Amino acid sequence: MSLEVMAKATAPIPLDVAFRVEPGELLALVGHSGSGKTTLMRTIAGLWQPAAGRVAVDGAPWLDTAARVNLPAHRRRVGIVFQTYALFPHMTARQNVMAAMDRPDAAEAERLLDLVNLHGLSGRKPAQLSGGQQQRVAVARALARRPQALLLDEPFSAVDRATREKLHGEIIALRAHLKMPVVLVTHDVNEAQLLADRMVVIEKGSVVRSGTTAEVMADPDALRAMGIREVAAMLPATVAEHLPDGLSRLVTATGPLFLPTVEGAPGTRVVVRIMAHEVILSRARPEGLSAQNILAGKVTRIVPGGGPGVMVHVAVGDHEILARITRRAAEQLHLQPGDTVHAILKSMSVARDHIARARDDEHAASRAAQ
């Protein structure tokens, strides 16, 4: 079931946004505070009505101002995870989940808590849970409504970086079980790149750019609207071994990467963050260079930038590496979509602080593989 959203308003902020989210797709709404992201979430949930708008799931309208349709929030099958989680402090995790059900079912609540890796913690109250565990309860409660759409409103902003990275892995694993459209509101560009299939960048209530993550991150106007000057690609990898010379060997879809010692035992899944300006492209594998950190791929897109550079998208397995190179370099290489190239990752481009632990819980990893 797809989710269609259109909203126009002049107050409290100017708003003119439209997008569509397909079943099982995660779309990230990215923009600065005050850009209109949360207002759009409230519009979908039925907590605010724009001057003109339409919200429909599988063609059935929840809101259609032209037809004077506006279902109240309790009649919209939408699950919401708020920034503060909004759990009932006097209830256990199980009771919080059951409170969202039309017909409270303790067994179903336990199943949902297991799904978000909270097995054995259903009897604890929020004060007895960590911030990350509270977030998982909030996700389970949102799913308890059997939603037709799931809304995540800055759901990781209240936890520290290490917990946030762990929760990213939880969402990645959970998505295998989700068939409804998912909308994530975030101001964290790297988070959007890691989790989203597509992005919509909003500035002052209007869409600056929408498209796949790679398309958006190659657009200078979108980068400006997000307040960043450089982009990075996220490449999944697995820790293979720790070497005596202080390096860790990681396995990727098309070859090994060697990085300064990465936390995690062999088998740990991680995400490597590769800065676009730290990638050199070559037609042939360069002679005289170490074989380390050189990945073969195919050019998929070449996008001119607003300045002297171009962004080259290189498919590496099922993922992409982005390379920002000069126009002159692109002309010398005579690059065309479909060309085979070698992406050379400069020695310091993948550093220890560019690793995000995708999974660091053995039980959760085994559940994701089921």
Structure confidence by residue, pLDDT tens digits, 25-48: 999 999 888 889 989 999 999 999
pLDDT > 70? residue 347: no
168 vs 338, higher pLDDT: 338
Q: Give me the domains of the chain, ranges plus CATH numbers.
A: 3-230 (3.40.50.300), 233-357 (2.40.50.100)
Cα distance between residue 267 and residue 215, in whole Å: 31
Pick from 124-138, 256-270, 319-333, 353-367: least confident: 353-367
- Tokens, residue 83: 């920034």
Cα distance between residue 364 and residue 117, in whole Å: 6
- Strand-pairing partners, residue 199, are 28, 211
pTM of the model: 0.66
Q: What average pLDDT does range 272-292 have in this prediction?
A: 77
Mean residue pLDDT across the chain: 83
What 57-65 contacts at long range (C-beta under 8 Å, 24+ apart), as own/partner pairs, is 57/1, 57/2, 57/3, 57/4, 57/148, 57/149, 57/181, 58/1, 58/2, 58/148
pLDDT > 60? residue 275: yes
pLDDT > 70? residue 231: no
Best-predicted range by mean pLDDT (6-15, 77-86, 228-237): 6-15
Cα distance between residue 325 and residue 309, in whole Å: 5
pLDDT band at 148 (very low <50, low <70, confident <90, very high): very high
pLDDT of residue 141: 94
pLDDT > 50? residue 193: yes
| Ordered DSSP codes for 320-339 | EEEEEEEHHHHHHHT--TT-
CA distances from 163 to 65, 166, 172, 214, 302 (A): 41, 5, 14, 26, 36
Q: What average pLDDT does range 275-291 have in this prediction?
A: 76
User: Angle of helix 131-144 relative to helix 106-115, nearest 10 degrees?
Assistant: 130
pLDDT > 90? residue 5: yes
pLDDT of residue 230: 62
Cα distance between residue 361 and residue 165, in whole Å: 12
Give the three-class secondary structure for 343. Answer: strand
**Residue 56, φ and ψ in degrees, nearest 5:** -140, 145
